[in-house]
Structure 1
Amino acid sequence: MPAKHNDKAAEARAWLLTLTSGRATEADADAFRAWLRASPEHEAAFADQKRVWQGVGAAVQEELAAGAQARRAKAARHGRRAFLGGALAASAAYLAFRPPLGLWPALDDLGADYRTAAGEQRRLALGDALEVEMNTQTRINVAATADGMPVVELADGEAEIRLGPKDAEVVAGKGRITGRDAVFNLRYIGGEARLCCLSGTARLVHAQGVFDVGPDRELRYDDVRVQPPVKVDPNLVTAWRQGWLVFDQQPLAQVVDELNRYRRGRLVLMNEQLGKRLVQARFSLAQVADAERLIGDAYGARVTHLPAGVVLLS
């Protein structure tokens, strides 16, 4: 853990060095989350340092890609060394923000109050007002308003959420969801949210208006628009709660993206035409680790295994 410093910027920088060192442990992640929550000044200092490191990491990648002259590259590395401790640290920082193929958690993931790893599911009981069932690769933050009303932010991923008889609020992107004695499945990935009501009524408050969603209806929204609710089969939406992934005439490219959320390593689809094939399939979560074999058998894909659990499908 970084040593204590009076300078909040130095503390934030020390945490960045620790978390991007490649040696950070789960205990380090827990200690970092505690430090981040301890003071708004910590959050502000860390956000500032992230912006600086992101800019430096991108500059390193551009420099490498452009094949800069050795003298200029050396001078650039020397100029950054006082701040970063060398170009390796800058590269490590860049990879921490943008992990290749999603092979490890991004740095932002470590700041979440609760998170699940690939294939992991987790239940949170947050008093009388809220119960949350977290699906794989999900990040959640928990806070409260000035009057004590619980607020849950789904920062990324998917969860089934049960709202009790007391006031509570759930946030995903630019949408705020309320309701009493309501159950809904909420998915927020890549800036798009899917709100499926399972029982009761879930109310979405968005810049585009207020929308009530009843049972067996799903509404999709992003930062700028809200689509009208449509009827869905809730058994398909919540199949993950029973240990299944169900795909109904979805392109293989989408199926691969979803399978990757449940497995370690990465499936990489190399054939665009193959990715357009429509899939009607039902996978148990226990089968996900062997999904490449099933895809190869069913669609004639060539399967190539690489280190770190990366599998090419062509």
Structure 2
Amino acid sequence: MVVLIGGLFAWSDGDPYTAVLADYRSTAGQLREITLADGSVARLDAASAIAVHYDDRLRRIELLKGRALFIATPVDTPAAAGRPFVVTTANGQTQALGTQFIVEQLEEQTIVTGVEHHIAVRAAATPSSAAVILAPGQTVRYDAHGLQQTATVPLAHARAWEQGMLLFDDMPLHEVLAQLQRYTSGRIVLQKGELKPRHISAAVPAADVGAGLQTIASELGLRVVRLPLVTVLY
């Protein structure tokens, strides 16, 4: 899909909402690193997008889609000028109490993982006074209903996508396919919807998603057909 903005054509990847609102985007299969005005860094996973909202009181980043590692300039530095660093999604927010963390926006949930120092995670459905404090290697999900149980994850596992590996440990199939979707320009379609909640584990090289899909399909007793704009698992 093509959107006309200010007299210029911009590819929206089928998502005009993101095309209009995003300040920075990555395309399918592309990792992109952005240095923000205060020196903070947003490292975007493939097919991800953020909008930047900085003012005199707050440094707020809105994760519109996908996943990103954020490296926040500490609040007590001159560049930060005492302004908190916060990343928001549709159903909550994460505030940096230290420096590094990962936020991933799924279709209905957000996953937050602490990487360095601590972060405070709040869900929109949770009272503002209630926050989960995550240490490095801790992760939590939230959705429209609130925060879920905190878990632990090896940091090398959580950051494997930065090194070109997509690791899935006991994840629902529909979430696995959503992540793989970021690394291919065509659509991935699962014909057997009843398999969406089934949990699987897999390691897929980001540079060869096609082979990864074939392996996953074989383990589930499915077949794969590849068309010019879509890959179907049936």
TM-score bucket (shorter structure): 0.7 to 0.9
1:29 aligns with 2:13: no
Q: Which residue of 2 aligns with 1:260?
A: 181
1:313 aligns with 2:233: yes
Deviation larger for 193-202 or 245-254: 245-254
1:223-302 map, 5 Å: 223-272=144-193, 278-302=199-223
TM-score, length-scaled by structure 1: 0.62
Larger Rg: 1
TM-score, length-scaled by structure 2: 0.81
Q: Which residue of 2 aligns with 1:110?
A: 19
Once the two structures are superposed, what CA deviation does each residue of 1:87-143 show, in whole Å capped at 9, x if it has no partner?
A: xxxxxxxxx8xxxxxxx3311121111111211111011134521101112110011
Q: 1:149 to 1:276 in 2, by over 3 A?
A: closer
Quote the Cα distance in structure 2 between the aligned partners of 1:249 and 1:229.
16
Quote the Cα distance in structure 2 between the aligned partners of 1:292 and 1:179.
36
Once the two structures are superposed, what CA deviation does each residue of 1:140-167 show, in whole Å capped at 9, x if it has no partner?
A: 001112x264221112211001112123
Q: Which residue of 2 aligns with 1:196?
A: 113
Q: Which residue of 2 aligns with 1:126?
A: 36
Q: Which residue of 2 aligns with 1:173?
A: 90
What CA RMSD, in Å, does the superposition of the two structures yield over aligned residues? 2.8
Aligned match for 1:211, one of 115, 118, 132: 132
Opposite residue 42 of structure 2, the aligned amino acid is V
Which of 1 and 2 has higher RCO (CA within 8 Å, sep 6+)?
A: 2
CA positional deviation for 1:250: 3.1
Once the two structures are superposed, what CA deviation does each residue of 1:20-78 show, in whole Å capped at 9, x if it has no partner?
A: 8xxx8x94239xxxxxxxxxxxxxxxxxxxxxxxxxxxxxxxxxxxxxxxxxxxxxxxx
Opposite residue 123 of structure 1, the aligned amino acid is E
Quote the Cα distance in structure 1 between the aligned partners of 2:202 and 2:118.
31
Q: Is the 8 A contact 1:117 1:136 kept in 2?
A: yes
Deviation larger for 186-195 or 298-307: 298-307
Equivalent position SS for 1:257: helix
- Between Structure 1 and Structure 2, the one with more strand by share is 2
Opposite residue 312 of structure 1, the aligned amino acid is V
Q: 1:231 to 1:106 in 2, by over 3 A?
A: same
Q: Is the 8 A contact 2:29 2:182 kept in 1?
A: yes
Opposite residue 189 of structure 1, the aligned amino acid is L
Q: Is the 8 A contact 1:164 1:180 kept in 2?
A: no
Quote the Cα distance in structure 2 between the aligned partners of 1:171 and 1:251.
24
Q: Which residue of 2 aligns with 1:78?
A: none
Opposite residue 140 of structure 1, the aligned amino acid is I
Q: 1:274 to 1:186 in 2, by over 3 A?
A: closer
Structure 2: unaligned runs, 5 residues or longer: 76-82
Q: Is the 8 A contact 1:184 1:196 kept in 2?
A: yes
Quote the Cα distance in structure 2 between the aligned partners of 1:268 and 1:177.
32
Q: 1:263 to 1:144 in 2, by over 3 A?
A: same
Equivalent position SS for 2:9: helix
Structure 1: unaligned runs, 5 residues or longer: 1-17, 31-95, 97-103
State the identity %. Answer: 26
Quote the Cα distance in structure 2 between the aligned partners of 1:213 and 1:244.
24
- Between Structure 1 and Structure 2, the one with more helix by share is 1
Q: Is the 8 A contact 2:97 2:120 kept in 1?
A: no
* Count of residues in correspondence between the two structures: 220
